[in-house]
Structure formats: structure tokens, C-alpha cells
Structure 1
């Protein structure tokens, strides 16, 4: 109920303030399970995408946002739940693995799931190598992947900033990628790597980022 109420208020307000440049939104299926795989530049990314997509997009968020105390903690929990986010303890290896099962449940319900294949925010603007969890989800659930390229979101909420600012944002949604015939008896590990690299190449094309060529390591406050 809260999600539906906020969806009538937050997206139009945010779009009116930021006036983002949006391309390819028609590439996001209106119904049915789909993965939105995006580059990750800022905390605000997980707000920008749900604000623009005209359907609920579920993201995984660190559990700290849901466990705060006092009024601030309660408001934080309500806010992130209203955006469709689900908590995960990213310092717990098993919980991180369980989050993939949670994602499969979301897709199994016919919903849209958002994921950052890089794993954490890029602090230097480079596009880091994708981790294969996105391929695991796409191949296991048999769902399309819509690549997303974000530009400008670090200017909206730089690292350390408590509140968002007005800044130019561009969001590009690419054509859905279908990997339903990718396996065909081939080693699954190799296929996951190839699928992930294909997704990251499309994200690179959409975001215009230079590739780092290595994995990104999470910072303590990321």
C-alpha cells in the first residue's frame, strides 16, 4: 500500500526536479520477469532507476538501512521498503549467496529485479569487471536482461553527501538481451563468464565509461 502511495508522489516530483535525460525506456518490458543490469556510480542509482521505470524494480540494499533505531531508523526502513528494496548483510558471505535466491523468487513472481554486476560503486568513474551473479540469475530464471547506462548520478549525491543535489542525469536503457540458448551443453562456468561480459559490454556502450579491466573491491562505507 505504501509503495503505491509513494509511487504517485515520488517519481513525478523527482523527475520534475532532476529533469533527467532518458533514452530507451520502451526497452523495459511492461510486464513479466526481467533483470535490469546497471553500472553503479552513486548511492542514488537505486532511487533513480525505480523513479524512471514505470513498474516496480526490486533492488538489494545493505541491511543497515533497515535496522536503524529511533525515528530516523524507522523512516529509513519505511523509505527503502517503499522503494521495493530488500535487505542483505553484505558482510555475511552466506547472506550474499542467499540474496541470489531472493532475486530468483522476485523473478519467479514475474517482477523486475535490479542488479549492479560490478558489485559496488565505482569511485573513479571506471566501469569494473562484472561478477557472474547476473548471469546466474538470467540463465537460471530464463529471463531477459535490460542493460542500463547511468551518467551524472555522482553529481546528484557525491560520496559523503547526506542529501541529493540538483544535477544533470542521463539514463539509457538498452535493448533486452536474450540468453535462453546460451548454454547448449557448454561448461556452465564459461557460459556465465561470457554472458556477464556481454552484459558489461552493453553497459559500457550505454554509459560511455572506460573499462577498468579488474574487479572492484568494496570500500568500508560503500
Structure 2
């Protein structure tokens, strides 16, 4: 892996970025803040709350660099999809991100990539930021790069796990529940967590995500 996708991956990523930007701008009135908080170079662990299937794209649209995403191992076995996700430096993991998944993330960070992880482990049931999975602490204890918290708001109302089809919030109309906003927080120094117990670490990271989610909520209501 490299710190950015190969040529084919960059072309594909850029195509998806701009087509998604157009779609979400006009369809969901997407709003973003904190763009400059994402480091331009070097490894970065990006943590975001998880509201919707839209979330990986939302975080990608709020980042000024290429992101690497986690993908279930079985997706790499699909003939049509495997070449595409490989070209984007996708990282294969088990559904629960066990020891092998953690090592894969660390390897990607070691090569200078910005890796997106959803520490809640699954999409929220009610739109709130749910408690973080305990296994995330094993990853945090081993990273030595900036940790960037990202808050997503509105995506739950736009397309939650309980909905079959998305609900639009068209541009130029007043903000609705399905208007989407993303807030990128300031990087956290991982040294903060080196001597912190697991529960305290998870609580601190949870508060950071809750704070960014609150910022995104305020932004999308403007």
C-alpha cells in the first residue's frame, strides 16, 4: 500500500468524490466545517460516528486528502468489486475487526495513510452516538499518529438502518431533519491515551465524537 491510491484509484476516487459532492449538495444540502483540521500529510486515524450507509462518503467529502476505508474480507472475493476496492487501498477486515484487522490498520497507518474507522462498530439505532466498542482501545493504544474525530448529523434521518429508501433535503429549501452536516474536529495527540485506562479512554473519545456531532447538528440547522 502507498499513502494514496494508485493512478486508477485516484481517478476512480476523484470521480466518485465529485459526483457524490454534486449529488449530496443538491439532494441533501450537505454542509461541512473543520476542513482544515485534517492533516495533509502523514498517517491519520479518523474516527466518526455512524448514522447511515452514507457515512463513508460523507467523511470522504469532508477530507482534503484521500482516505482508506475498512471493507469486509468477503467483498474482496467478489470479482467485479474486488479490483475497485483494492485500487482505493481498502483494508480487509473481519466484521468485528479482530487482531488481524487492527494490525492491517496499523500497517496502513505505518505507510502514511489516513484511515477511517467507525468505533461504534455499527450504525446507530436511534441517531445518537452509541458507546464505542471495547476493541477500539486496543487500536488506540498502539497508534502514534493524530486522531481526528468527525461528527455526522442528519444522515440518520436521511437514510437510517430502519429506512428502505433515503429521504431527500433539496438544496435551497429550508433545513429539514434529513439535511446533512459534517464537522471535523481538531486532531488529538495519541499520547493523551497512553497511560489512560480503557474505560476512561473510550469515554474521552466518545465525548469527542459527541461534541463533533453536536457541532454538526448546529451547522445543519442554519
Per the TM superposition, whether the score is higher than 0.5 is: yes
Alpha-carbon contact 1:108-1:141 (below 8 Å) kept: no
From the superposition, tell whether residues 164 and 109 of structure 1 become closer, same or farther in structure 2 (CA, over 3 Å). Answer: farther
Are the equivalent residues in 2 in contact too, given 1:38–1:117 (CA < 8 A)?
Answer: yes
Q: Distance in 1 between matches of 2:20 and 2:210?
A: 26
1:36 partner SS: strand
Q: CA deviation at 1:99?
A: 0.3
Q: Deviations over 1:134-193 (max 9, x none)?
A: 44333322111111100122344443778766442101001111131543xx4xxx5333
- Go from structure 1 to structure 2 and tell me whether the alpha carbon gap of 1:160 and 1:123 turns closer, same or farther (over 3 Å shift): closer
CA RMSD of aligned residues (A): 2.6
Q: C-alpha displacement at 1:50, in angstroms?
A: 2.0
Answer yes or no: is the 8 Å Cα contact 1:39–1:149 preserved in 2. yes
Alignment gaps of 5+ in structure 1: 210-222
Q: Give the TM-score taking structure 1 as reference length.
A: 0.76
Q: How far, CA to CA, are the matches of 1:129 and 1:86 in structure 2?
A: 24
Q: Deviations over 1:51-84 (max 9, x none)?
A: 331212112122333333xxxx51x334433444
What is residue 29 of structure 1 aligned with on the other side? 39
- What residue is the counterpart of 2:122 in the other structure? 120
Unaligned runs of 5+ in 2: 1-6, 170-178, 216-222
Judge conservation of contact 1:117–1:131 (CA < 8 Å) in 2.
Answer: yes
TM-score (norm 2): 0.76
User: Counterparts of 1:90-109 in structure 2 under 5 Å?
Assistant: 90=95, 96-109=98-111
Match of 1:179 among 174, 179, 190: 190
Within the candidate set 128, 143, 153, 1:141 is matched to: 143
Matched residue, 1:197: 203
For 2:82, the equivalent position in structure 1 comes to: 77
d(CA) in 1 for partners of 2:85, 2:125: 23
Output aligned runs, 1:15-94, within 5 Å.
15-19=21-25, 20-68=30-78, 74=80, 76-90=81-95
Alignment: residue pair count: 196
Q: Is the counterpart of residue 170 in structure 1 residue 181 in structure 2?
A: yes
Match of 2:19 among 7, 13, 16: 13
Change (3 A) 1:88 1:180: same
Distance apart, 1:131 and its partner CA: 2.3
Counterpart of 1:2 in 2: which secondary structure? helix
Distance 2:84 2:51 in 1: 21
Name the CA shift for 1:181/1:147 in 2 (closer, same or farther; >3 Å): closer
Shift of 1:30: 0.4
